[in-house]
Amino acid sequence: MEIIYNKTGKASVVSVSGRMDGVSAPEFEEKLSAWIAEGETSFIIDFGSLDYISSAGLRSILVTAKKLKAKNGRLLLCTLKDTVKEVFEISGFSSIVPIYESVNSAVEQI
Amino acid sequence: MSKIILPATIEHLENLVGFVSECARKTGFSNKRLKEIELASEESLVNIFNYAYPEKSGEVTVTCFSQKDTLLKIEIMDKGIPFDPLSLPEPDLHADLSERKVGGLGIFFIRQMVDEIQYRREDGNNILTLTIFINKAV
């Protein structure tokens, strides 16, 4: 898994590539947690290059989304590949975290 | 039949899942089904890493029985405390963000991604068997 952070205007765009599994998901959670502690409150997670996600990955997203909600912040996801989107849909996560088709359409929401 | 035996710790997740994925690829599954099989395997293995050996370290054995272009049977065995993952409750899939619990999704994904699932306790072993057919019966 690789995580790239880009600050564009009001939003922080975090691009995650590779696999978000039981090994790498805690790293995602720690990085986001550190950025939240630095005062960032709006994140767009670009999953365009993410090939795989497991329940450990969903857990790290849920924990992050809950932290941000407590700070009136926002977590938006975008550009999910089909296999990743399937995991969000069958788990019901697509109804608790907003998902957009492109980075731009997510940025417009911030 | 092919088999891999490794310590039951998260550091070995990638090797174990990679092993299953390679068996599934040789069986003839599409890339999409490979990801689903990897997901069911990871969730089964992580349960073992977390629960099987609370006080000592132990191993996990993954055995793949493959019938080319027909089916893959994955047997995941540990010698840990008796633990039937099928006994775990289903998560509430409709809770909103504040209500949604962290966890409980692992067994749900295993059930969703495989066609047949069986648990048995035999000679001090937990044995979970996952079967996936190339042509899913609808």
pLDDT for B40 equals 98
pLDDT in tens, B80-136: 999 999 988 888 888 888 888 877 899 999 999 999 999 999 999 999 999 999 997
CATH number at residue A51: 3.30.750.24
**Which range of residues forms the domain containing residue A53?**
2-107
pLDDT higher than threshold 70 for residue B50: yes
Non-local CB neighbours of A18 within 8 Å, separated by 6+ positions: A1, A2, A24, A49, A50, A51, A52
How far is the C-alpha of B104 from the C-alpha of A89, rounded, in Å?
16
Q: Do A96 and B96 touch (CB under 8 A)?
A: yes
In chain A, the number of structural domains is: 1
Instruction: Enter the ipTM.
Output: 0.93
Whether the predicted model's global pTM rises above the 0.90 cut = yes
Residues 6+ apart with CB under 8 A from A86: none
Coil/strand/helix, residue A3: strand
B16 φψ region: left (φ > 0), alpha (ψ -120 to 50), beta (else): alpha
Average pLDDT over residues A64-84: 96
**pLDDT category, B137, cuts 50, 70, 90?**
low
So what's the pLDDT on residue B57? Answer: 94
What's the mean per-residue pLDDT of chain B? 94
A22, A58, A90 ranked by CB distance to B42: nearest = A22
φ/ψ region of B118 (left if φ > 0, alpha if ψ in -120 to 50, else beta) reads: beta
Token couple for B2: 């092919």
Set of chain A residues whose Cβ sits within 8 Å of the Cβ of B38: 52
Q: What is the mean pLDDT of residues A56-80?
A: 96
Give A 56-85 residues with CB within 8 A of chain B. 56, 58-59, 62-63, 65-66, 69, 82-83
Domains of chain B and any CATH numbers = 2-133 (3.30.565.10)
Query: Taking the CB of residue A63, how many other CB atoms lie within 10 A of it?
Result: 16
**pLDDT at residue A10 in the model:** 81
The whole-angstrom separation of Cα B109 and Cα A90 is 9
For residue B59, the tally of other CB atoms under 10 A from its CB is 17
- Weakest-pLDDT range from A63-72, A100-109, B129-138: B129-138
| Confidence (pLDDT) at A9 | 82
Higher pLDDT, B92 or A61: A61
Give the distance, in angstroms, between the CA of residue B87 and the centroid of all CA atoms in the same chain. 15
DSSP B89-114: PPP-TT--TTTPPS--HHHHHHHHH-
Å from B96 to nearest chain A CA? 6
User: Which among B44, B61, B40, B50 is positioned nearest to B109, based on CA atoms?
Assistant: B40
